[in-house]
Amino acid sequence: MPSPISPLIIALDYASLDAALCMADRLDPRRCRVKVGKELFTRSGPDILEALHGRGFEVFLDLKFHDIPNTVASAVQAAAEQGVWMVNVHASGGRRMMTAARERLETHNLDTRLIAVTVLTSMERSDLAETGLDIEPMEQVERLAALALASGMDGVVCSARESARIREICGDSFLKVTPGIRPANGEAGDQRRIMTPADAMAAGSTHLVVGRPVTQADDPMAALVAIEQELATRPQGQ
């Protein structure tokens, strides 16, 4: 199947396999990828991956592994062996954890994209301070993105506000997968470091993760099409 040209990844944050597939069946696998996260996977297990793959979707399995190196490497291998397009770990798990995951994929000839979460988009400076890091999110994101690159990651999860800086430090081909995407005047909800779809692409994001602005909209398809149109009409070269 040809890879979709769209940078959109729709977060299927639903409580059941049926609800997630109901949304997936309204999406076109040539126009977006989909993300399966902790709630859906915990409820439905690998069946959801099989069902989405059967419908032609490339799947980002977002379980944000964070554990000792051997445990994370084994979990990443298990995800990749189920054919997912992308999987993630927490960069704060450190160099040895990330390197072990990368080596495990290479040993088994698995080409799943492996990316690392830097600082969650729901966190701002005061949240970081409570964890003992009295610095701006940008500073910690820069540090963890550089560590992720040095540890063999294909890219990072960050907010779009950090994409431009990460592009400078880590290059164009290093993936910048950015949640916290909100159309202008959209509800931030629990997100803190947000950006509009067009601004995020202009800032250098390579992929946009969009959940509630689509899944909680009165008309999810209309919300998705509006984002597609915003991206299609953004000035070229940005």
Q: Which of 212, 217, 228, 231 forms a contact with ligand OMP (CB under 6 A)?
A: 212
| 163 near ligand OMP, judged by CB under 6 A | no
Q: Which of residues 56-85 bind ligand OMP (CB under 6 A)?
A: 62, 64
218 labelled binding-site residue: no
| 211 near ligand OMP, judged by CB under 6 A | yes
DSSP 185: T
Q: What is the dihedral of CA 10, 111, 48, 62, to 10 degrees?
A: -50
Pick the catalytic residue from 28, 67, 127, 190: 67
62 labelled binding-site residue: yes
Alpha helices by DSSP H, 32-116: 38-44, 47-54, 69-81, 95-107
Q: Which of 191, 197, 198, 227 forms a contact with ligand OMP (CB under 6 A)?
A: 191
Q: Which helix (H) or strand (E) holds 178?
A: strand 175-178
How far is C-alpha 99 from the chain's CA centre? Answer: 19
Q: Which of 11, 27, 72, 147 forms a contact with ligand OMP (CB under 6 A)?
A: 11
Q: Cβ of residue 142: shortest distance to ligand OMP, in angstroms?
A: 15
- Give me 198's structure tokens: 């067009």
Pick the catalytic residue from 18, 47, 62, 154: 62
| 141 near ligand OMP, judged by CB under 6 A | no
CA angle 233, 237, 238 (to 5 degrees): 75
Q: Which helix (H) or strand (E) holds 169?
A: helix 163-170
Among all residues, which ones are annotated catalytic?
A: 62, 64, 67
Q: Name the site residues for ligand OMP (rule: CB under 6 A).
A: 11, 13, 37, 62, 64, 88, 117, 120-121, 157, 179-180, 189, 191, 209-213
